Amino acid sequence: MASDRPRVLSGIQPTAGSFHLGNYLGAVRQWVAMQETHDAFYMVVDLHAITVPQDPAELRANTRLAAAQLLGAGLDPDRCTLFVQSHVPEHAQLGWVMNCLTGFGEASRMTQFKDKSAKQGADRATVGLFTYPILQIADILLYQANAVPVGEDQRQHIELTRDLAERFNGRYGQTFTVPAPYIVKETAKIFDLQDPAIKMSKSASAPKGIINLLDEPKTSAKKIKSAVTDTGTEIRFDETGKPGISNLLTIYSTLTGAGVSELEKKYEGKGYGALKTDLAEVFVDWVTPFRARTQEFLDDPETLDSILAKGAEKARAVAAETLAQAYDRVGFLPAKH
């Protein structure tokens, strides 16, 4: 089905059981909104997941779990194309071509690689982790995406994607759409509840600092109530002076739709405790139906798998066309059938 809407593409890794609140507010929330305005392609990036060691049974379960959470968050298979990256072999195929166009130095400057490889030690970090951003480039360019909704930490990868699209187009003729990052300023970086100097992250946050959406809501409510706050008592949005309170205000505002200044007024003269108690309740009210919807898809793996199979079929139709064009431009001899 051809569409005159702009294209959107994004992906999320099945590397943890549960999404966290940063994933939802920074990325997935935008995915849900953009199904209404864009021709939307969203995927669970299992090829990216194996850049660090994965237990096979867990990876398979987490891939289904990620898809169920995306549906639970509001993706609608009638409004978007939801699929699993490894079901579309064109990603790895275009990835190779892109590897051959990317400079070694250029790839070496990716901060995510530097952080993650430093954590693992140079000997344990794989070549796959090094070329991770280049596979991501292929993901995006295959779908001729105009916009890529992600959190702030992904900006550098999208910039590299733009550079590579322009390089390929310059060398071989117009082939790829040059994509733009779609990063919502307010929620681009949700911070750790215990350490508002770092982003909420499945690999870096301590358990008390991260809100996992599939945890018991009571557990998350407790974490919100014990979030670190700043000195003073005033509830005011001030990212440098009051990073803890500002983070809670961002979360509150996004989950309810109330403006930050409205919230500042509402809590004038009240203490941090009142804000945290109310936010805990807001979160529980939001997450309870999310968990129930996710569970419905987990309880019905046949439906889930059939959504993913249809998604892969739709995705392949688009990806195969772009790959054929790219192969032709590069000078590969067409295979005769």
Q: By CB under 6 A, tell whether 203 contacts ligand ATP.
A: yes
Q: State the Cα angle at 284 between 40 and 81, rounded to 5°.
A: 10
Choose between 192 and 278: whose C-beta lies nearer to ligand LTN.
Answer: 192
Separation CA 269–CA 331 (nearest Å)? 69
Choose between 11 and 209: whose C-beta lies nearer to ligand LTN.
Answer: 11
| Per-residue 3-state assignment (H helix, E strand, C coil) for 121-179 | CCCCCCHHHHHHHHHHHHHHHHCCCCEEECCHHHHHHHHHHHHHHHHHHHHHCCCCCCC
Tokens of 152: 């702030």
Contact pick of 8, 9, 18, 22 for ligand ATP (by CB under 6 A): 22
Residue 10 counted as an annotated binding residue: no
Could you say which DSSP state residue 6 is in?
P
> Is residue 202 annotated as a catalytic residue, yes or no?
yes
Q: Which residue is nearest to ligand LTN (CB)?
A: 11
Angle, nearest 10°, between helix axes 127-142 and 301-330?
90
Q: Which stretch binds ligand LTN (CB under 6 A): 8-16, 227-235, 256-264, 325-333?
A: 8-16
Residue whose C-alpha is closest to residue 133's, from 118, 105, 152, 113:
113
List the interface residues with ligand ATP, window 147-166 (CB under 6 A): 150-151, 153-154
- With CB under 5 to 8 Å by kind, the binding choice for 45 among ligand ATP, ligand LTN, none is ligand LTN
Tokens of 10: 């994004």
Q: How near is the Cβ of 22 to ligand ATP at its closest, in Å?
A: 3
CA dihedral 244, 250, 251, 252 (to 10 degrees): 100
CA distances to 21, 46, 64, 283 from 135, in Å: 26, 11, 21, 35
Choose between 145 and 275: whose C-beta lies nearer to ligand LTN.
Answer: 145
Q: By CB under 6 A, tell whether 165 contacts ligand LTN.
A: no
Residue 203 counted as an annotated binding residue: yes
Q: By CB under 6 A, tell whether 12 contacts ligand LTN.
A: yes
Contact pick of 13, 35, 144, 247 for ligand LTN (by CB under 6 A): 13
Catalytic member of 116, 208, 266, 314: 116
324: Cβ contacts below 8 Å, ≥ 6 apart: none
10: left (phi over 0), alpha (psi -120 to 50) or beta: beta
Separation CA 83–CA 308 (nearest Å)? 5
Q: Which residues pair with 75 in a beta bridge?
A: none
Residue 230 counted as an annotated binding residue: no
Separation CA 37–CA 20 (nearest Å)? 25
Contact pick of 7, 8, 10, 247 for ligand LTN (by CB under 6 A): 10
**SS3 for 187?**
helix
> Is residue 242 annotated as a catalytic residue, yes or no?
no
Q: How near is the Cβ of 267 to ligand LTN at its closest, in Å?
A: 33
Binding mask 110-139 for ligand LTN (x = CB under 6 A): --------------------------x--x
Q: By CB under 6 A, tell whether 150 contacts ligand LTN.
A: yes
Residue 4 counted as an annotated binding residue: no
Separation CA 320–CA 144 (nearest Å)? 12
Catalytic member of 189, 199, 223, 242: 199
Which residues participate in the annotated binding site?
A: 13-15, 22-23, 139, 151-153, 190, 199-203
Q: Which residues are catalytic?
A: 116, 199, 202
Which residues in this chain contact ligand LTN in the complex, by CB under 6 A? Answer: 9-13, 45, 48, 136, 139-140, 148, 150, 154
Which residues in this chain contact ligand ATP in the complex, by CB under 6 A? Answer: 12-13, 20, 22-23, 26-27, 150-151, 153-154, 188-190, 199-204
Which residues participate in the annotated binding site for ATP?
A: 13-15, 22-23, 151-153, 190, 199-203
